[in-house]
A and B are shown apart, each in its own frame.
Chain A
Amino acid sequence: MKVERIWQADVQQRVFRELLEAFSRPGDMRDLSTWVDGTTAQRAVLATLMDGEMTLADPHGRIMDTDWPLLQAKPGASEHARYVAVDGHRAPDFQPELGSLESPEFGATLLIGVNSLGDGELSLELVGPGIDGQRNIRLAGLHPDWLTRRADWVGSFPLGVDLLLSDAHRIVALPRTTRIRISGGAL
């Protein structure tokens, strides 16, 4: 029986290292195409991070029915799940878990699928931990409400959410500590 590569331990180790780099250096684009084998980066990330201990919400129906038994994650509501996979085109219509002051690690990780990273109409200026000075990224296919809502969600550190944007095979992380300015606009 042939097992898809994203479910294999050695590939998950590589994907995790890319995730580690992405979260350590917000705005730095990481290419997973060597590892994802034609599937999406978001799916590879889920395969890497999920197991039976985690709750996962899928409000936009992005996860295939056949993947749920493999991911082993418990389905949860978008408001409470530790991980939420969403479609970036659609405006946010929920408030994710922000964690508590004592346990901010319960703040959700949002996996947001977008059209493209690296080019596109939206240009962001990033500063914060992991960034030497300032970093700029361009992207397409993210509803602007995600950034305005995020600004509220991460407003009182250490509470907040951590975003992982992905297109077909690339990822960019925006942890709660990153301060984002839309180029030409203010946020």
Chain B
Amino acid sequence: MNAMSHVQSGNAYNFGFLDEYAKKEVRRAILKAIAIPGYQVPYASREMPMGRGFGTGGLQLTLSLIGPDEVAKVIDQGSDDSVNAVNLRQFIEMTCPGISTTTKTAECTLIQSRHRIPEQPLTSMQIIVLQVPYPDPLVVVEPSEDKRKTMHSEADYSRLLVKLYEDIVKFDEITISHRYPTRINGHYVIDPSPIPRWDVPKLNDSAAVILFGAGREKKIYAVPPHTKAEPLAFSDVPFQVEDFRDEKGRRRACARCGCTDAFLDEFVADSGGKTWQCSDSDWCDAQLLPAKRLQGEPA
């Protein structure tokens, strides 16, 4: 009787596609992940009807969390309209009848994201799920998972720090552009998924719960709200986010909305030159709206 499927009329699948046993497995892992911030909890990752590497870990989290009154937002590299986001959103809409979806960060209760955290600060009423390709930051310095688990448990990240130091020796800066190793609550170092350095400070003292799902590697980890998240750095080489300054030292603005305080994507313009635009499409739209009103155009 327990864990009975919850099939609604007109739908061949259980609500949320996963069977209830799969959801229970993911849910128990989520609670342990929150209780041990930054620790990668192994779980029985299920086959999903899409290739591993397309966000199956994040999707299993989303489908285990989601309820009929949910307002979900799915983004891929900041955009609601790119292929990965559209496909996952359609899958969620198809398998979770009754939920609503939105592109507006302010309106959603659950966000599944590939490689970005929205520019608009999240609230305590929201949960963000990040899709993770490679969950273990130590994999670059230690091939054996057994040894990595011991290193994590002892908070032994000396070899990772040596790797960062070697970067500084060779290139005069830490060359990690995304997946920046970040220490959670003073113990575990996580791979925060391929978010740019720009988004790393948003992990610290977040109002929203941040969950990470790696489907292929079968790991779930979490950064609870109001938890310390410190990117690894040295006292004389502090962590820095991308600065987007041009040759003259001026901060580049988004070519579309003019915003100068968001993460920008670089494009090749039709003219052949380079142009920059907000990566977070909802943020860009929101900045554009007042600008249009000012010019008297219909929004």
The residues in A between 39 and 55 inclusive whose CB is less than 8 angstroms from any CB of B are: 47-51, 53-54
Select one of A17, A19, A51, A177 contacting B37, CB under 8 A.
Answer: A177
Q: Are A10 and B68 in contact (CB under 8 A)?
A: yes
Complex contact A49–B24 (CB within 8 A): yes
B106-156 at interface with A (beta carbon < 8 Å): 124, 127, 146, 149-150, 153-154
B31 with A158: CB separation less than 8 A: no
**B146 surroundings in chain A (CB, below 8 A):** 102
> Which residues of chain A come closer than 8 Å to B67, judged between CB atoms?
10, 13-14, 17
Q: How far is the CA of A172 from the CA of B221 in the complex (A)?
A: 22
- B37 touching A7 by the CB < 8 A rule? no
Measured between alpha carbons, how far is A3 from B225 in the docked complex, in Å?
36
Task: Tell which of B25, B32, B153 touches A53, judged by Cβ atoms closer than 8 Å.
Answer: B25
- Give Cα A33–Cα B234 distance, bound, in whole angstroms: 50
Complex: how many Å from CA A105 to CA B33? Answer: 8
Tell me if A47 and B28 are in contact (CB < 8 A). Answer: no
Name the interface residues of A72-129: CB closer than 8 Å to any CB of B. Answer: 72, 101-105, 109, 129
Chain A contacts for B32, CB-based, 8 A: 105, 162
Taking a contact as CB atoms closer than 8 A, the residue among A10, A20, A109, A157 that contacts B187 in the complex is: A157
Q: Is the CB of B224 within 8 A of A158?
A: no
Q: Which residues of B contact A176 (CB under 8 A)?
A: 35-36
- Please tell me if the beta carbons of B2 and A70 are within 8 angstroms of each other in the complex: yes
CB neighbours (8 Å) of B224 from chain A are 23-25, 129-130
**Which one of B3-11, B78-86, B260-268 contacts A?**
B3-11
Given contacts A8-B6, A9-B4, A51-B2, contact A104 B153 (CB under 8 A): yes
Residue interface mask A146-187, B partner, CB < 8 A = 1: 000000000001100010000000000001110000000000
Interface flag for B1 (CB, 8 Å): yes
Contact A51 B24 (CB under 8 A): yes
Say whether A23 contacts B34, CB under 8 Å. yes
Contacts of B209 in A (CB 8 A): 20, 24
With A51-B21, A175-B34, A177-B185 as given contacts, are A9 and B39 in contact (CB-CB < 8 Å)?
no
Query: A158 to B39, Cβ gap below 8 A?
Result: yes
Residues of B52-80 at the interface with A, using a CB-CB cut-off of 8 Å, are 64-68
B15 at the interface (CB under 8 A from A): yes
When distances are taken between beta carbons in the complex, the residues of chain A under 8 Å from B65 are 16-17, 20
A13 vs B14: C-alpha distance when bound (angstroms): 13
- CB-defined contacts of B36 to chain A, threshold 8 Å: 104-105, 158, 175-177
Question: In the complex, are the beta carbons of A20 and B20 less than 8 A apart?
Answer: no
Interface residues of B in 23-45 (CB under 8 A from A): 23-25, 27-32, 34-37, 39, 41-42
Max count, chain A CB within 10 A of own CB: residue among B29, B34, B64: B34
Question: Bound state CA distance, A141 and B37, in angstroms?
Answer: 29
Q: Min CB distance, B64 to chain A, in Å? A: 8
Q: Which residue of B lies closest to A10 (CB)?
A: B6
User: Assuming the A-B contacts A158-B39, A162-B35, are A10 and B15 also in contact, with contact meaning beta carbons closer than 8 angstroms in the complex?
Assistant: yes
Q: Which residues of A have CB within 8 Å of B24?
A: 48-51, 53
Cross-interface CB contact of B34 among A24, A47, A101, cutoff 8 Å: A24
Q: What residues of chain A lie closer than 8 Å to B149, measured between beta carbons?
A: 102-103
> Given the complex of chains A and B, what is the CA–CA distance between A36 and B124 in angstroms?
25
- Asked if A71 is an interface residue, CB under 8 A from chain B, the answer is yes
In whole Å, how far is B34's beta carbon from the nearest beta carbon of chain A? Answer: 5
Interface residue ranges of A1-40 to B (CB < 8 Å): 3, 7-10, 12-14, 16-17, 19-20, 23-25
How far is B154's CA from A104's CA once the two chains are assembled, in angstroms? 12
Cβ B39 vs Cβ A104 within 8 A: yes
B163 smallest CB distance to A (angstroms): 22
9 residue pairs, one from A and one from B, having the closest CB atoms: A9-B6, A175-B35, A101-B153, A129-B227, A102-B149, A105-B32, A130-B224, A162-B35, A132-B226
Other A-B contacts than A17-B67, A25-B225, A49-B27, 11 sampled, CB-CB below 8 A, are: A9-B4, A9-B6, A9-B15, A13-B66, A16-B64, A20-B30, A72-B3, A104-B153, A105-B29, A109-B31, A129-B185
Q: List 11 A-B contacts (CB under 8 A).
A: A9-B4, A25-B224, A47-B2, A53-B24, A101-B150, A104-B36, A105-B32, A129-B224, A129-B227, A132-B226, A158-B153
Tell me the B residues contacting A by CB distance below 8 Å: 1-6, 14-15, 20-21, 23-25, 27-32, 34-37, 39, 41-42, 64-68, 124, 127, 146, 149-150, 153-154, 185, 187-188, 205, 209, 224-228
